[in-house]
Structures are given as C-alpha cells and as structure tokens.
C-alpha cells in the first residue's frame, strides 16, 4: 500500500477502503524507504501510556505545521489489544499514519527503552535523535531538533 503512494494525502473514501484491505492483509514489511528525502518522526505509543495523551496533540500540531517542509510523522502502536488503541485514537485523533506492532518487533528493532519513544530520522535515513519519554515542557527542545533536521538538504 505504501509503495503505491508517494504522499499521504488520501481521500477519506479511499482511506476507508484501504483500512478494510489492511485488516485482512498479511504481515508485510514496514518500509521507510519511500520517505527518503523527508524527515521522519517515528513515535512509539500505547493506549496505556499517560504521556502519550499529551504527545498526540503536539504530534498532530507538528505534522500539520511541518508537512510542507517534508516532515512525516508515523506513529507505531504497541498495544496488545487493538480496540484499546482505536479507543485512544477516538479521544486523541492522530492526523498522521498509525502502524500496529503488537508483538513489539519494530520496537525491538529500534531498541525502544521507554514509553513513549520518539525516533527522529533525517532525510538520508539515519537515526539522529532518540528520546524516551515525553514532557510538554521539553516541546521546545523537540521542536529544535526537528528544525535542525528539516534544515538539512536531502543530499
């Protein structure tokens, strides 16, 4: 599905169709390669994670503000119970793509050490910053890191 789209602007109708198809999709490989040239903010979250409730509005904000500067926010959910994640998304709407990783395979690969975890990947695909935990008072610091990465060229 990712391979077809270069951007994430999908009409709600198509999105709904894709959602239905995704539910019956087999395990596929999560491929960040299509984001080469963009800055990726990979966020690991769960419905049971209190600070995630504060991070989501901020993530929605940066996804909105920096989309034109090629920021992509991808949230990876680690809930074991999908319905809990969906309930969370009802209360704290995402506005950015969400991936499901209930077995923690992606989390293991990125060596997540705390919840939530943010992994900031630069335009050439290198992991440049990784944060464990989210505190609203540090939003300025997170923002600064984004500006550094967004300011770089894609080489």
Residues 52-111 that bind other proteins (CB under 8 A): 52-54, 56-57, 60, 63-64, 67, 78-81, 89-111
Pairing of strands 117-121, 39-45: antiparallel
Could you count the other beta carbons within 10 Å of the beta carbon of residue 42? 22
**How far is it, in rounded angstroms, from Cα 93 to Cα 87?**
10
Cβ-Cβ contacts under 8 Å for 6 (sequence gap 6 or more):
34
Q: Does residue 137 belong to the site contacting other proteins (CB under 8 A)?
A: yes
- How many chain residues interact with other proteins (CB under 8 A)? 88
Looking at residues 30 to 49 of the shown chain, list those that interact with other proteins (rule: CB under 8 A): 30-33, 44, 46, 48-49
Interaction of residue 151 with other proteins, rule CB under 8 A: no
Q: Give the shortest CB-150-to-other proteins separation in angstroms.
A: 13
3 binds other proteins (CB under 8 A): no
Q: How far apart are CA 36 and CA 49, in angstroms?
A: 30
| CB of residue 56 to other proteins, shortest distance in Å | 7
Task: Provide, rounded to whole angstroms, the least separation between the CB of residue 99 and other proteins.
Answer: 6
> Judged by CB under 8 A, which of 37, 136, 147, 154 binds other proteins?
136
Q: How far is the CB of 91 from other proteins (least distance, A)?
A: 5
**3-class state of residue 76 by DSSP:** strand
CB atoms within 10 A of CB 129: 16
């Amino acid at each position: 599905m990712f391979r077809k789209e270069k951007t994430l602007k999908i009409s709600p109708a198509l999105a709904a169709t894709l959602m239905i198809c995704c539910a019956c999709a087999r395990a596929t490989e999560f491929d960040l390669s299509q984001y080469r040239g963009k800055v990726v903010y990979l966020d690991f979250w769960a419905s049971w994670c209190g600070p995630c409730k504060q991070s989501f509005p901020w993530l929605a904000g940066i996804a909105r503000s920096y989309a034109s500067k090629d920021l992509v926010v991808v949230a990876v959910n680690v809930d074991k119970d999908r319905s809990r994640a969906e309930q969370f998304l009802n209360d704290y709407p995402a506005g950015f793509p969400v991936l499901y990783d209930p077995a923690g395979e992606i989390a293991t690969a990125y060596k997540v050490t705390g919840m939530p975890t943010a992994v900031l990947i630069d335009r050439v695909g290198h992991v440049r910053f990784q944060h464990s935990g989210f505190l609203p008072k540090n939003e300025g610091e997170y923002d600064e890191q984004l500006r550094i990465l967004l300011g770089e060229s894609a080489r």
